[in-house]
Amino acid sequence: MTTPERFPDVARVDARDKVRGATLYGSDHHPQNLAHAMLAVAQIGRGQVVTIDVEGARNVPGVRLVLTHLDMAGIKADGYLFGTGHAFQSFQPMLGTAIAYRGQPIALVVADTLEAAIEGTSLVRAEYTTEPFSVTIDAAGAETLAQADLPLPKPMFADRNVGDADAALSSADVTVEAVYVSPPQHQNPIELIATVAEWDDDTLTIHEGTQGVNVVRHGLAAELGVPPEKVRVISPYVGGGFGQKNSLQAQTVLVAVAARQLGRPVKLVVPRAQLFHDASFRPFNRHRIRLGADRSGRIVAAVHETDQQTSRHDLFPSLYADASSRLHGIANFRSRERLVRTDVQTPGFMRAPWEHATAFAFESAVDELAYELGQDPVTLRLANEPTNDPISGKPFSSRYLAECLRRGSAMFGWERRTMAPGSMRDADGTQVGWGVASGAYPASTTPAIARLRVVDDGTISIEVGVQEMGQGARNAVAATVADVLNVSAAQVTTLLGDTAGAPPHLTAGSWGTATAVPAARQAALDMREALRKLGLEDDGRTTPQQILRAAGRPFLEVEARQRAPGQPEMVFERLDQGLLALGGPEYPEYVSFSYIAHFVEVRVEPNTRRVRVPRVVSVADCGRVVSPRTARSQVLGGVVWGIGASLREASEVDPRYGGFLNADLAEYVIPVNADIGDIRVDFVDEPDPLLNNAGVKGLGEVAMVGVAAAVANAVFHATGRRVRALPIRIEDLL
């Protein structure tokens, strides 16, 4: 089947509603008689609740209910998403006396007003016994585990080992070795984590921003002990997911229980300070990289060893070498990944969860190698492009990283760069640095069901398993249907994010487009065929509405089911149950990744040593671009986040008391408009010929992969300082 031609740039189909404020997010729902909830949280780093006094809270005027672990009979934890469950961690707060980490919820106060609920939480008094805890990976009591020995899905989480990396390293002409560190970070989407729960008899409706309504439905039903059919979860829009909203949250069941006990709808918006402890985060990680090359610049060996923080109660796995082993054509590669148990909530997925940190480490090391060899870093990368996947030996379904590097170089003016660190300066002494890095991200796919309906009143609507979280899923789906049916994207209504519709898989891992678009395209192709049987001509003028009217048919409906290459039909059962069912990046016949190259200019002021990023050029290979406008926005966002991750963001751990210290947007520093200069984005826009019927791969996460390395490499080029721990701060450059 031929893949679609280049898509036109269509305006966001949801833009008008968004700018008018008409788009309703989860916590925008205000059912009649709504009660408001707030959480009281633990003040210790680890231990047990001995007594909890809620009298003061109950006596606040307007407070209607206070829930503690003593009120949760019949509720059970659903389980961790990497096991049999749907939750971001196996540990569900308030089901017992255990305190696993500072900031863990210990009581939910529900009142007529939010103010009364907040006042109530301030009067909850708990007494604890305390236990020693460790919140950093080098602290006494942190437990280091070799991931290869742990009960995690293999081969996904096995160490990578091809050729003989150690032997090739020891005989290499040139070697580099260094350790790179990335700090814990928190997602901080604008839409806070929030739940509105409403019971109607024995049926529960949840409004909550989530990347997976079906995940929440099944997880919550298991926690409550009710049939999943009795739980409806609605999330047509998400105000930023970034992995934080990709699983069942800890507060959802608490709000549902409160609403059931009170016989009133209840809303909880988790405040930002609590979000730092109530949801997953990007864990601390450390990489030791060794590279070996021959004099000509052929990279012959790499060893990638990592330590990543996890919680005491779960194994959030690491997958750092999945991208590093494929980014270049290195024949001898060995990885060893370790997890370190610490006393925190379970960390998890945050945009490019492994690939961002891997690219910072690995692409910094490749830059160090370029300087050891005295070779231009773009030339070095181009000389190490693989023909086949170095790990499996399979071909890549498509790979245009070299084109990204070449086109990016030309757009940036890279040929004017002088190699020596400190060699480019402004008249006032400002040091100018140009850095480059590449990135890769798995092109995974999950099963999807699409239901397309055309009606003789002109309505064209599609229901398909993908969550809109601002990334542009609606645009991509609407553009796909519009392209096949020869209508405008604005005419296509997209029904997403509701368990009452076709069951959606969790939308994460940059698989949304490559999951929903092929299903939507198949449904549209089937619809076109059905219309053709009714007399539709390929004249570009008759509309589906005209065909239906002429044929006397009130409507037509088709359903298409798509799954990842190589997936068995039974994956649809996992889809139904809200469980993970992803295919790729290694498929039976080929390996699929998306790619990007980033070119960054930094300017380091001579006296203050402040680093500015006046311009960036990023060129991505995400297969066919279905929605140019939202795709470009995705890359802009990824670059901005990469600048933040390299120069601003870090969650500061408090080793004395546990928890994270800078739990607000004043102290957790993210870039503002004044930090961002000119960002130019381009796409190779060549369809992947094998992965699916639309030629699409993923984009959301690869957008960010490599930005931090390009910034760090530019800082080295400007100053001669190689900073190997993020974020890069003024004090690193004094």
* Residues 130-149 interacting with ligand MOS (rule: CB under 6 A): none
- CB of 24 vs ligand MOS, minimal distance in Å: 22
Structure token pair of residue 254: 């608490």
- CB of 48 vs ligand MOS, minimal distance in Å: 33
- CB of 583 vs ligand MOS, minimal distance in Å: 15
User: Residue 541 CB: number of other CB atoms within 10 A?
Assistant: 8
Q: Is 356 in the site for ligand MOS (CB under 6 A)?
A: no
- CB of 714 vs ligand MOS, minimal distance in Å: 26
- Residues that contact ligand MOS, how many (by CB under 6 A): 11
x/- letters, 448..487, toward ligand MOS (CB under 6 A): ----------------------------------------
Give the interface segment with ligand MOS, choosing from 199-207, 239-247, 544-552, 684-692 (CB under 6 A): 239-247
* Residues 193-212 interacting with ligand MOS (rule: CB under 6 A): 211
Q: In angstroms, rounded to a whole number, what is the distance separating the alpha carbons of residues 726 and 432?
A: 20
At a CB cut-off of 8 Å and minimum separation 6, what does 129 contact?
47, 48, 50
* Choice among 363, 368, 601, 701 that is catalytic: 701
Sheet holding 593-604, edge to edge: 431-442, 593-604, 611-621, 678-683
At a CB cut-off of 8 Å and minimum separation 6, what does 666 contact?
none
Concatenated DSSP letters of 350-401: -SSTTHHHHHHHHHHHHHHHHHHHT--HHHHHHHT--SB-TTT-PBBS---H
Binds ligand MOS (CB under 6 A): choice among 349, 396, 412, 668: 349
Give the interface segment with ligand MOS, choosing from 238-246, 266-274, 402-410, 550-558 (CB under 6 A): 238-246
- CB of 511 vs ligand MOS, minimal distance in Å: 8
Give the interface segment with ligand MOS, choosing from 15-23, 336-344, 346-354, 566-574 (CB under 6 A): 346-354
Q: Is 591 in the site for ligand MOS (CB under 6 A)?
A: no
Q: In angstroms, rounded to a whole number, what is the distance separating the alpha carbons of residues 339 and 306?
A: 8
| DSSP, res 230 | G
- CB of 641 vs ligand MOS, minimal distance in Å: 11
- CA-based nearest residue to 193, from 106, 87, 270, 276: 270
Residue number closest to ligand MOS, CB atom: 243
Binds ligand MOS (CB under 6 A): choice among 210, 246, 309, 634: 246
How many angstroms separate the Cα of 386 from the Cα of each of 165, 369, 381, 396, 408?
A: 17, 18, 10, 9, 19
Q: In angstroms, rounded to a whole number, what is the distance separating the alpha carbons of residues 78 and 231?
A: 15
- CB of 245 vs ligand MOS, minimal distance in Å: 8
Give the interface segment with ligand MOS, choosing from 147-155, 195-203, 236-244, 445-453 (CB under 6 A): 236-244
Q: Is 351 in the site for ligand MOS (CB under 6 A)?
A: yes
Q: Is the dihedral of CA 593, 713, 320, 353 positive or negative?
A: negative
| DSSP, res 45 | S
* Residues 509-528 interacting with ligand MOS (rule: CB under 6 A): 509
Binds ligand MOS (CB under 6 A): choice among 344, 350, 449, 708: 350
Q: In angstroms, rounded to a whole number, what is the distance separating the alpha carbons of residues 163 and 154?
A: 20
Q: In angstroms, rounded to a whole number, what is the distance separating the alpha carbons of residues 432 and 61?
A: 62
- The rounded radius of gyration (Å) of the Cα atoms in the chain is 26
Give the interface segment with ligand MOS, choosing from 95-103, 235-243, 383-391, 647-655 (CB under 6 A): 235-243
- CB of 577 vs ligand MOS, minimal distance in Å: 19
- Pairing mode, strands 611-621 and 678-683: parallel
Q: Is 508 in the site for ligand MOS (CB under 6 A)?
A: yes
The answer to whether 680 and 648 have CB atoms below 8 angstroms apart is no
- CB of 241 vs ligand MOS, minimal distance in Å: 6
Question: Which uninterrupted H or E stretch holds 549?
Answer: helix 544-551
Based on CB atoms, which residue is closest to ligand MOS, 291 or 357? 357
Binds ligand MOS (CB under 6 A): choice among 212, 239, 353, 433: 353
* Residues 12-51 interacting with ligand MOS (rule: CB under 6 A): none
Give the interface segment with ligand MOS, choosing from 146-154, 348-356, 457-465, 652-660 (CB under 6 A): 348-356
- Interior CA angle at 354 toward 351 and 357, to 5°? 95
Binds ligand MOS (CB under 6 A): choice among 103, 120, 212, 243: 243
Q: Is 280 in the site for ligand MOS (CB under 6 A)?
A: no
Residue 131 falls in the annotated catalytic set: no
- Interior CA angle at 207 toward 206 and 208, to 5°? 105
Residues noted as catalytic? 701
Residues contributing to the site for ligand MOS (CB under 6 A): 211, 241-243, 246, 349-351, 353, 508-509
